[in-house]
Structure 1
Amino acid sequence: MKSSLFRIPFSRLAPASLTLLAGALSSADAQLKLPPLEFEESEKAGYFFRFAGKALFNVRASVDQVAPTPQTPGNYDNGFVLPDIGGTASGLTWNWGFLSDDQIASDMLNFERYSNLPHGGAISGEKDDPLIGGELLFGVEFGRFDVGTREWAWGAEIGYGFNPFKISNRSMAAGTVDYLAASHALNGILPPVGPYSGTFEGPGPVIDLNPTSTTAISSAATSTFDGTLESSLHNFKFGFWVEAPVTQKFSVALSLGYSSILADSELSFRETFTFANPAIPQLADVDTSVTADGWRNGFYGQLRVNYEINQYLGAFVGGEFQYNNRFKFGGAGRNVTLDFTGIYSAVAGVSIDW
């Protein structure tokens, strides 16, 4: 009996897939005339832990600018002045709002709008360096079956892995910005303390629907983006394994099963705008972050080569393929996608059997 795994009585037949695989390998075994392997009897209970370092490859990410909302008359970056339920005939409206008391100057309410601002910071591609992390699995042997002259074992495993993801981007974009300044008369009313937002139905204080004065300026503009996308990838898996001896010390094993990734993510960035025309007021730098987390389901398959150091300790190396759904989130004018639809990984570690 193979010393690294203890025989547990198991009255059922192996799954159909294992039976088919066993038949094929039995034929190959007979043709090759492999000699039977002799193993010492084991006293172990058939359980094991696997501790591994794990390097992930081909995790891809993209960060894109949200498509701008089409600008309509009366909508501004710092408020709105729109027709109310009474229509436009009176030239007045109670359907208006503003953000800050700083917009009030004498009997005027001032608004601004920046259109067609250039935005840098588009990220698209995969992380060049591997994502270095680790994995811990617990497993149990369910039973054994003969394939030709060799005795195979099979069972189940459950585990947790962690890998950090981080990608940074610094870029510039250029374009032409359209700036609009508009002033609406308050007509002697005392406006509410900002921020304030009136409604279409009203009632409320009324101001001029149409601006008393407007200023429109177009200018060359540039933006500088400096951002980082970070994600802690927590990987949970459950599956079944089958192991075939090659020599008394070496064996190969295959694991297949369900996996789920929890992506705990944050996009943080700083964006600065510069205008060639000094008549356009300088915008404050955007310094913000967006966080999100979510589970993405999938599956995994891992192929390992095991080496038995002694009855209770072994070492292994292997490769894995994993497929999970994409994780998407957004905020602060950006859409973020983490793509897990084709992850490759390399593992190496030790196993403890008892």
Structure 2
Amino acid sequence: MSNPLFHLRGAAYVGLAVASIAAVHGEEMAPESGIWLRGGGVLRSGIGVDFRNSTVPTPVGAGIFQNGYVLPSVSTNSPYTWNWGYQKSSQIVEDTLNLERWDKVPRVGDLSGKVGTAFGGDLRAGIEVTRFMVGKREVKFGLEGGYGYSTISARAGGSAAGTGTHTTATYSFQPGDEQTIIPPLHPYSGTFAGPGPLIPLAPISGPTTTPVTGTSTLDMRLNAHLHILKAGVYFEVPVARRLTAGVSFGYCSVLPDAQLTIDESFSYDPSAGGHHLVRRSDWRPGGYFELRAQYDITKRLGVYVGGQYEFNQNSTFGGFGREATLKLGGVYGGTLGLRWGF
């Protein structure tokens, strides 16, 4: 006669084995939540940089100079004026004001900077909203959003040589027999209507114009960190076992955290030029479009490869007579990474 305890123990072992197999099978076949995370590297190309000469020519006229002016004020028949100004303290020598201007002197013009392929990263998250049939294929539709990052740099330089003219004039701070005035701190800009400190309208020396010959050199560099935010929709459809094709499109905003470096010198005017830094950060709106293929390694892990196109408004900024435009209107990218499903 068989032992009932033996049969009970055997049944328990069989039940435990079945339960274990069922648990593992249930984990493998558990439905996805529809939430996924995708991350990888991106190579971007098509970003351009233009460097321009934004100097505004000094207006032509008596009493108008690059570093100041002495013009008639509201009392147009008076030999004195409060409509005068200057830029630097070095222009004041004892009780006189020295002004000057340069005309038709050589200056490096517009340049184009080459931007190579920019490497960066891309992180995207999404959630499946619904599924629908197109023919015999089931299409997934969902929402996605993400953050991308790239760094770029561009550089351009040149030189120019030629001839021009240099005009100088000296004005007095002694209006008639009155006491010498104390000039306001620089930079100072008097107005036509005034009031303000009066100086003689006529110079005590000049204006004197002499020809000059010289060269100018320029070196411009732009470095930028691109922060990219995206929000859009996606469609995915299976094309073969473990292989899925997808398309995404939507809104894209780029924040170029950019710095423009300007190194400029003029042989005919050593006091001009110099080393300057200009920074700019502002969001540039636009959109994006992306195609990709994904191969599922497991039910929840896959590898993807894709191509993307981003189009955003350009960013233009500058200073010190120079300007840079970061061209973001047509940026192509290739991307490769992993996708996790939850």
Band the TM-score falls in, shorter-chain normalisation:
0.7 to 0.9
Q: Deviations over 1:259-309 (max 9, x none)?
A: 11112211111101113xxxxx53244211111121121111100010101
Match of 1:228 in 2: 221
Q: In structure 1, which of residues 147, 150, 173 is the aligned counterpart of residue 160 of structure 2?
A: 173
2:199 corresponds to which letter in structure 1? I
Q: Please provide the CA RMSD for this pair.
A: 1.9
Q: In structure 2, which of residues 157, 162, 185 is the aligned counterpart of residue 194 of structure 1?
A: 185
- Larger displacement relative to structure 2 (200-209 or 136-145): 200-209
Conservation of the 8 A alpha-carbon contact between 2:236 and 2:246: yes
Unaligned runs of 5+ in 1: 1-39, 276-280
Match of 1:262 in 2: 255
Secondary structure class of the residue paired with 1:102: helix
Q: Deviations over 1:2-43 (max 9, x none)?
A: xxxxxxxxxxxxxxxxxxxxxxxxxxxxxxxxxxxxxx8443
Q: Please tell me whether residue 311 in structure 1 is matched to residue 296 in structure 2.
A: no
Displacement of 1:126 in angstroms is 4.7
Displacement of 1:65 in angstroms is 0.6
- Larger displacement relative to structure 2 (140-149 or 104-113): 104-113
Q: Number of aligned pairs?
A: 308
Secondary structure class of the residue paired with 1:246: strand
Q: Please tell me whether residue 344 in structure 1 is matched to residue 335 in structure 2.
A: no
Secondary structure class of the residue paired with 1:270: strand
- CA distance in structure 2 between the aligned counterparts of 1:295 and 1:135, rounded to whole angstroms: 18
1:159 corresponds to which letter in structure 2? G
Match of 1:329 in 2: 317
Conservation of the 8 A alpha-carbon contact between 2:129 and 2:142: yes
Displacement of 1:236 in angstroms is 0.7
Conservation of the 8 A alpha-carbon contact between 1:58 and 1:126: no
Conservation of the 8 A alpha-carbon contact between 1:272 and 1:286: yes
Displacement of 1:219 in angstroms is 1.5
Pairing 1:107-118 to 2, within 5 Å after superposition: 107-118=95-106
Match of 1:104 in 2: 92
Q: Please tell me whether residue 185 in structure 1 is matched to residue 172 in structure 2.
A: yes
- CA distance in structure 1 between the aligned counterparts of 2:223 and 2:60, rounded to whole angstroms: 33
Secondary structure class of the residue paired with 2:282: strand
Pairing 1:19-98 to 2, within 5 Å after superposition: 41-69=29-57, 70-87=59-76, 89-98=77-86
**Do the aligned partners of residues 249 and 58 (structure 1) sit closer, same or farther apart at CA in structure 2, a change above 3 Å counting?**
same
Unaligned runs of 5+ in 2: 1-27
- CA distance in structure 1 between the aligned counterparts of 2:196 and 2:122, rounded to whole angstroms: 62
Q: Please tell me whether residue 151 in structure 1 is matched to residue 138 in structure 2.
A: yes
TM-score by length of 2: 0.84
Match of 1:34 in 2: none
Conservation of the 8 A alpha-carbon contact between 1:121 and 1:227: no
- CA distance in structure 2 between the aligned counterparts of 1:130 and 1:288, rounded to whole angstroms: 27
TM-score by length of 1: 0.81
Greater Rg over alpha carbons, structure:
2
**Do the aligned partners of residues 213 and 97 (structure 1) sit closer, same or farther apart at CA in structure 2, a change above 3 Å counting?**
same
Match of 2:203 in 1: 211
Q: Deviations over 1:139-184 (max 9, x none)?
A: 1111222223322212111001011121012211223232111011
- CA distance in structure 2 between the aligned counterparts of 1:202 and 1:246, rounded to whole angstroms: 79
1:199 corresponds to which letter in structure 2? T
